Copies of this chain bind each other. A is one copy, B any other.
Amino acid sequence: MSAAAQKPARDTRTILLDYAEVSVLEKGYAATSIEELIAAAGITKSGFFYHFPEKVDLGKALLRRDNEIVETGVRAMFADAFAAHTDPLDALLAALKAYGEAASKSTASRPGCLAAAFSYQDTLFDDETRELIQHGITVKHGLIRAALERVAAAHPPRAPVDLDALADMALAVVQGGMIIDRVRPPEQAVLNAQMTLYRTYVQSLFSHA
């Protein structure tokens, strides 16, 4: 518990990215100015362009960092859950719970998703950026879909279930829950309630009462 361990000594680039992430989530990419980022990081404007040759590179770096968190963090949630539970259904439900909770307490004060923010501004970007936006949800979809397959193998559903659509529903419920949480006045934690409801649905589809 040394004091040094608490402050990981963020470098300038990380400070820029951290501040940009919050700002993009609050007012969007276009309205996030380089000026405010350098004020937060305490460097000059040319210093910014040393780290990011163009503004669009900031957007890409933001998405790449976010995608890495998905690749490692969310993947680990599913791996851990499947390691901890013998029943795939229990594992999936645990993983979804962890994912929902992580999503609800993201970087900024309000929940939000970079990919969602970017998706409503994406004609400003090039193809590479659009692919980065897409990548994160593709990975998440894959993880959930793979888990659903294991669940379906262990618990054959009564009626046929479209596993792709069901996996998408988890993503949709999180994205939509975030938007509702952003729009509604106080903290009502719609996102968490939605994930709970979704988990109940999945359970009802596969567990034979």
Contact = CB atoms under 8 A, between A and B. Distances in A.
A12 interface: no
Contacts of A174: 176
A172 interface: yes
Interface stretch (A42-50, A82-90, A183-191): A183-191
Interface in A32-79: none
A174 B180 CA distance: 11
* Copies of this protein chain in the complex: 2
A36 to B, nearest CB: 12
A143 interface: no
Chain A at the B interface: SS class: helix
A106 interface: no
A48 B120 CA distance: 24
A184 to B, nearest CB: 7
Contacts of A196: 165
Nearest to A137: B183
